[in-house]
Structure 1
Amino acid sequence: MILDVDIAILGAGTAGMSAFNAANKVTDSIVMLEGGAYGTTCARVGCMPSKLLIAAAESAHQMQLAPAFGIQLNNGYKVDGKAVMQRVKSERDRFVSFVLQDIEQIPAQQRIDEQAKFIDANTLETSSGQKIRARNIIIATGSRPVIPTQLEAAGDRLIVNDDVFDWDDLPESVAVFGPGVIGLEISQALSRLGVRLRLFGRGDGVGPLQDPEIKALALKTFNQEFPLMAGNKVNSISRTAAGVEITFVNNEGYEITEIFDYLLAATGRKANLDKINIQAAGLKLNERQQPEFSPETSQCVNADGSPSPIFIAGDVAGFRPLLHEANDEGFIAGSNAARWPDFQPTPRRTPLAVVFSEPQIALAGESLAQIKQRLGDDGVVVGSMNFSKQGRARVMQQNQGMMKVYACKKTGQLLGTEIFGPRAEHLVHLLAWSIQQKLTIKAILALPFYHPVVEEGIRTALRSAAAQLKKQP
């Protein structure tokens, strides 16, 4: 017997839930299939547990800074690893419970707790053999960590970020591979909590930073706190009785060997497409073997270039793998599938990304490279400011970092920003809103700035850009 529905959704994460809620406003002929654990990546192993770990680390770091403010800790302080992880896990479980409550509100007949794969563009088959025929199918199967073959030599001491949040206690030492967002956040947090830490990376990558000057400053700044080995050669990795033995070339060019309790692979994620028989869907795939789709409609493209009845949303799409973007994509996919075939493109919000390190990293709008590609090298002005002399940042003893803003040379419109500095999570929102509103440098500078606040740094950077605009003939 075949189950006929209007819409079938593969995956019950952030994107899948958003798609279900949007589509359910139009039709109740929907089934959502989930073959794994409910609870979303963000709540279970991503955004929320990582911020809980970072919050504990920030508390410990403030203790370290206390003497500089004239506050003496005569008896010192102690990090109770078991208590740290107990709070991380209990609060994590609380966040997950909220998601599960939302799942439980979905009628049982609209939920199928099974893995499913494509038979064709309109037909799915579950792991138990149930066939589902849908007018439209939404792929929202998420992603999972990728582990390079070289790291597998760590054996049973090889972990991914998901595993960190199941620890009962903090280990003595961890080697982290991958200085992206996840690797950077977890590395600094563990280091501040007293874990001996070394972060390995290829090239000169530091999180999502792209500006060479800011990237170099970030590398120098983080290395003052914990070793970030950007581009250093790793000669060998092996599992020994003592732990994970890693031989590498240090920043001075010497080969050294160190032993760690764990090797944490933070080396990126891959789309969960391999278990859904994506080839049977007849879609056009890109070089990463992910379906090509329109970000404004979430609609996939058939192999022959024609529009497909299949939509895609969230991390599996690989467009902007962030929770707020997954939520938007799910809404777009669910709304459009429900109104099939009559729907309209939805403009995407200004790109926005934050890394919760300290100093924080934040980006919004277009990168400098993207702007130059579109407007030419002479079509952009770059304003900058250094936090070392910024008043409020110095008061807080957080005066490290740099901000850059990018504007159109012809119109003065703000197009992008890159920040490495204190409270960047707040600063970047103001700039992202300004970019989406298509404000000019002049218009933003006419807005109020209080004193003394970190936001004054935005004004300094904007004034730097405005001075260059005035120099135009």
Structure 2
Amino acid sequence: MNTDTHRADVAVIGAGTAGLAAERHARREGARTLLIDPDFAGTTCATVGCMPSKLLIAAAEAADGARRAVEFGVHAAPHVNGRDVMQRVRRLRDDFVRGVLEDITALPEGTCIRASARFEAPGVLALDNGERVEARSVVIATGASPALPAPYEAVAQNVLTNATVFGLDVLPETLGVIGAGPLGLEMAQAMHRLGVRVELFDAGDRLAGLPAESSAALFDILTQSFSIHLNCKPDPAPHPEGVALRWRDGEARFDRILMGAGRPPNLKSLALENAGLDLDDHGTPHFDPTTMQCGDAPVFIAGDANHHRPLLHEASQEGTIAGRNAAAFPDLRSTARKVPLSIAFTQPAAAVIGTIPEEDDSGHVTGVVDFADQGRAVVMGQAHGVARLHARASDGKLIGASLCAPGGEHLAHLLAWLIQGEATASEALELPFYHPTLEEGLKTALREVCAQCGLERPWQRDDDPRPGSGRGRPDK
């Protein structure tokens, strides 16, 4: 057995988004780095996450656009070829993966070690190839993987996850989706639009992590197309033609089940007890999100492995912070985190931005815009959805928002930028808004905030009269 010992300043376990960022930034700080991964297969985003899911969603939007064209006087009917859809998904997915693999190949010689690692001590790793690594600091970036709940083990051959759904050669005729988070919702709507009979189930009472009002609005929109069962935990059973799901007031048979709930961190095989770390009830190390350090040990954790903000842009920032601090240890730098931003790429898109205050919090006010009568939304045939903006009552400073609205992914970015820039609602209204746009709809909510905070109203100072929000008129 090989007993070679590799030595480095920083060892990074995991070559996903967070791990690649950590290695790159540690090396930029002058550290000698090692990147340890059993597969070097590419990032979750490129292989089984962000990119293939958006490819499937794009196909679904094309089909839905053709189906809805009659509303505009354009007569068309989509013919969905599931095999062609999935071939395009995989072809372009593989292009994205190829780019990641090229970046890994371009790393300095000797950086990559193909192996699994576990801790023997805070700075000592044992590899499953018989080798060892000794490093001044270690970054844990092992990501997360789909979980199969025990009740579904008996029907596992018919269960899909994000790791397997994009490998389908053809689309199923029927699909039961478990989990109403962003992944479950996105895949449920996309499959429905591609002609699959879909029903979605979730044990909770909210969609996509949205606050109650925004979740209810999204529920009302989506259930016009396919069934969503909330507060519902169905029981699976084998069926000669797939899987039977039974719940309190119904049952149905599905060709496949898509498990869209639960991606626990890949931590169990790391022997974290040997690293001298304090763990929470889920076995995740306690860490400082501004430094990514675990306790006071020379160990850092980034990305989905810490389950703090399991999103690509967060993994990238966390990897950057962890890599820099691992290289500089013990001289650490705290980094302010970006405003939280999560988006579900449903239609309409749903998003949660910043901090959502409690309903009974008198220190904050809320402005609302309903897109059911918003001019540009009507023009687009997408007159539905809502955006709720939250601000401090004392000065109108924007702190958070939630929405499900046409163009929601873009509105969410604008709101995140305003919140991170610590803008007040009044200052936001001073910015240019073009007519007619969906962005213009935010003015309604911003002006509600101003009115509740007693702020000076820009339309009383400008030449712009205070217009209404009805169809064909600029939003108030």
Normalising by the residue count of structure 1, what TM-score does the alignment of the two structures yield? 0.93
Deviation at 1:202, TM superposition (A): 1.1
Task: Find the residue that maps to 1:217 and give its secondary structure.
Answer: helix
Given that 2:31 and 2:327 are in contact with CA atoms closer than 8 Å, whether structure 1 keeps it comes out as: no
What's the offset of the Cα at 1:247? 2.0
Q: C-alpha separation between the residues in 2 aligned to 1:164 and 1:353?
A: 22
How much has 1:100 moved relative to structure 2? 0.1
* 2:362 partner SS: helix
Taking the TM superposition and a 5 Å limit, the aligned residue runs for 1:423-438 are 423-438=407-422
**Structure 1 position 151, deviation (Å):** 2.2
Whole-Å Cα distance in 1 between the matches of residues 167 and 335 of structure 2? 39
CA distance in 2, matches of 1:237, 1:244: 7
Deviation for aligned residue 1:368 = 2.1
Partner residue of 2:214?
Answer: 214
Counterpart residue number, 2:284: 290
Unmatched tracts of structure 2, length 5 or more: 457-476
Matched to 1:393, the amino acid is A
Instruction: Tell me the percent identity.
Output: 42
Q: Are residue 18 (structure 1) and residue 21 (structure 2) matched?
A: yes
Q: State how far apart, in whole Å, the 2-side matches of 1:308 and 1:469 are.
A: 46
Runs of 4+ in 1 over 6 A off after TM superposition: none
- Show the 5 A alignment for 1:444-463: 444-463=428-447
Counterpart mapping for 1:14-413 below 5 A: 14-73=17-76, 76-210=77-211, 212-232=212-232, 234=234, 236-249=235-248, 255-301=249-295, 307-369=296-358, 377-413=361-397
- For the 8 Å contact 2:158–2:255, the answer to whether it is kept is yes
RMSD across aligned C-alpha pairs, in angstroms?
Answer: 1.4
Match of residue 440, structure 1, among 410, 420, 424:
424
Report the AA paired with residue 85 of structure 1.
M
Residue 28 of structure 1 deviates from its aligned partner by 4.8
Amino acid at match of 1:35: P
Deviations along 1:396-419, whole A, 9 cap, x unmatched? 011110100000001210000001
Change (3 A) 1:24 1:410: same
Question: SS at 2:368's partner residue?
Answer: strand
How far residue 168 of structure 1 moved from its aligned partner, in angstroms, is 1.0
In 1, are the aligned partners of 2:396 and 2:455 still within 8 Å (CA)?
Answer: no
Amino acid at match of 2:215: K
Distance 1:121 1:346 in 2: 24
Q: Output the amino acid matched with 2:434.
A: Y
Q: Sort the Cα spacing of 1:196 and 1:405 in 2 relative to 1 into closer, same or farther, 3 A.
A: same
In structure 1, distance between residues paired with 2:12 and 2:455: 55
Asked if the contact 1:148–1:267 (Cα under 8 Å) also holds between the matched residues in 2, the reply is no
1:242 partner letter: E
**Partner amino acid for 2:99?**
F
Deviation per residue, 1:403-460 (Å, 9 max, x gap) = 0000000121000000111011111111111111111111111111110000011111
User: How far has the Cα of 1:205 moved from its partner?
Assistant: 1.9
SS in 1 for 2:215: helix
Which amino acid in 2 is paired with 1:259?
R
> What corresponds to 1:304 in structure 2?
none
Question: Does the CA-based 8 Å contact 2:11-2:33 persist in structure 1?
Answer: yes
Distance 1:133 1:155 in 2: 40
Aligned length: 453
| 8 Å contact kept, 1:172–1:195 | yes
**Structure 1 position 256, deviation (Å):** 3.2
Contact 1:137 1:310 (C-alpha < 8 Å) held by counterparts: yes
Cα deviation 1:51-102 (Å, max 9, x = unaligned): 00000000000011111101112xx320000100000000000000000000
CA distance in 2, matches of 1:380, 1:309: 41
Query: Match of 2:393, as an amino acid?
Result: K
Query: Partners of 2:232 and 2:19 in 1: how far apart?
Result: 40
Tell me how far 1:107 sits from its aligned partner.
Answer: 2.6
The SS at the match of 1:8 is strand
Distance, in Å, in 2 between the alignment partners of 1:232 and 1:300 is: 37
Q: Among 392, 406, 419, which residue is 1:422 paired with? A: 406
Instruction: State the alpha-carbon separation in 1 of the partners of residues 380 and 187 from structure 2.
Output: 23
- Secondary structure of 2:287's partner? coil
- What amino acid is aligned across from residue 381 of structure 2 in structure 1? Q
CA deviations 1:289-341 (Å, max 9, x no partner) are 1011111111111xxxxx11101100001111000000000000111111222
The answer to whether the 8 Å contact 1:151/1:265 transfers is no
**CA displacement 1:8-63 (0-9 Å, x = unmatched):** 10000000000011011123521110013420000000000000000000000001
Q: Secondary structure at the match of 1:151?
A: helix
- The residue identity in structure 1 corresponding to 2:136 is R
Residue 40 of structure 2 contacts residue 114 of structure 2 at CA under 8 Å; is this kept in 1? Answer: no
Supply the distance in 1 between the matched residues of 2:44 and 2:455 (Cα, whole angstroms).
Answer: 49
Residues 72 and 2 from structure 1, CA distance in 2 versus in 1: closer, same or farther, beyond 3 angstroms?
closer
1:3-14 counterparts in 2 under 5 A? 3-14=6-17
